[in-house]
Amino acid sequence: IMKKREYRIFPICLLLALAVCFLAACSSGKGGTQESPGASKSTSKSTSESANGSGNGVDDSGESTEAAEKKLRIGVAIYRYDDNFMKLYREELRQYLEEAYNAEVVVRNARGEQEEQISQVNEFIEAGYDGIIVNLVDTDRAGVIADSCHEAGIPLVFINREPKADEQARWKTEKMVVSCIGTDSKQAGTYQGGIILETEKRGDFNGDGVVSYVMIMGEKDNEDSNYRTEYSIKALEDGGMKTEKLFSGHADWNKEEGRKLAEKALALYGRRIEVIFCNNDAMANGAWEAIDAAGRKTGKDIYLVGVDALEETVQYIKEGKVTGTVLNDHTGQSHTAADVLMKMIHGDEAETRYLVDYVKISTISTLQK
Ligand code: GAL
């Protein structure tokens, strides 16, 4: 009797097992078809994409395909990839857009060529992107890009290299969905001068009442270069110091160019140099190498300041190689850019211009805060 029962139970188990297998195969097949459009979609656009895992493992409600298709596509055009500060900026921007907004982000390098950047933006437009972020090569060409995006009905945000005031005013009068995220470069310059005023000798090692300085500037005709230069000296003078410019030159935000200019200045003016101002940290890092090679000692017989708060410079400040820097808040700026773009994509009104504050960094205690 027992045997008979076993025989009867066995086919039932077999049937159940087959049914389970069948159901499992069905559901995994369903998941597979849902994932593949998403996967092939991301590979087809993967030229400059990081791996995009979302959409996988979404339940089988049928909504995952729709959600993947609705992912906002954002194009980002950067003036050049070999700029240390903009590297931090673009990496943070991509990560934030992907993580906070689940956006699909494509970033392009214009390699310092405005025409190349214009065609990159046109490609974004032709591909029907939902929003575009541009770090201009030449701020005078903002209008061309703004017009193309406006005609295509695609919201646009300019970052870092700000279009001129009259161009910004036009966005408002012509009701264009365009905004820009910038900083107050006068503030950065003022902080640099302030850092020198806070030093023991107020920048005046030889005690003659005059701060003799070298100015290593970024690019020519760049707002950051101009205002940081002007306001760092203005701050010293407002603080009661006389100033004397010994040497200045443009090193295009570049470390090696900064090193070369500082080397030249030190060869020409030697011990007369009391302060080296650099419009950014990359150039200050280069200038430190020249200072070191010339046998000078930061804080003992020369002061050196930059802007950006690059990791390497912050380390140099801790080691006493650089006197101070000003934090150029790439996190705040990139998040604001993304938030403003998203606002505009969703049809909300945005301001024409947003400013993100700089933060003065001159001592180890500030760094540790
Ligand atoms: C400045 C920054 C520089 C450089 C420049 C590019 O804000 O301090 O290091 O990145 O932008 O325009």
pLDDT 10s digits, 81-117: 999 999 999 999 999 999 999 999 999 999 999 999 9
Decide: 252 in ligand 1 pocket, CB within 6 A.
no
Greater confidence (35 vs 279) lies with 279
Ligand 1 atom nearest the C-alpha of 328 is 8
Tokens read off for 252? 């295009």
Measure 107 CA to ligand 1 centroid, in angstroms: 18
Provide the pLDDT confidence category of residue 65 given band limits of 50, 70 and 90: low
Provide the pLDDT confidence category of residue 291 given band limits of 50, 70 and 90: very high
Decide: 262 in ligand 1 pocket, CB within 6 A.
no
205 pLDDT more than 90: yes
Rounded to a whole number of angstroms, the CA Rg of the chain reads: 28
Provide the pLDDT confidence category of residue 67 given band limits of 50, 70 and 90: low
User: What pLDDT score was predicted for residue 70?
Assistant: 84
State mean pLDDT over 293-311. Answer: 97
Three-class SS of residue 138?
coil
User: What pLDDT score was predicted for residue 362?
Assistant: 73
Tokens read off for 140? 């005078």
Output the average pLDDT for the chain. Answer: 85
- Shortest CA distance to 360 belongs to which of 232, 180, 218? 232
352 secondary structure, DSSP code? S
User: What pLDDT score was predicted for residue 38?
Assistant: 28
User: What pLDDT score was predicted for residue 243?
Assistant: 98
Provide the pLDDT confidence category of residue 46 given band limits of 50, 70 and 90: very low
Alpha helix positions (H), the chain: 2-44, 63-69, 84-101, 114-126, 142-152, 165-173, 185-197, 223-238, 255-269, 281-293, 311-318, 330-345, 364-368
341 pLDDT more than 70: yes
Ligand 1 atom nearest the C-alpha of 188 is 8
User: How far apart, in Å, are the Cα atoms of 110 and each of 120, 242, 308, 313, 361?
Assistant: 8, 42, 22, 27, 32
Q: What one-letter code names the amino acid at 28? A: S
pTM over 0.75: yes
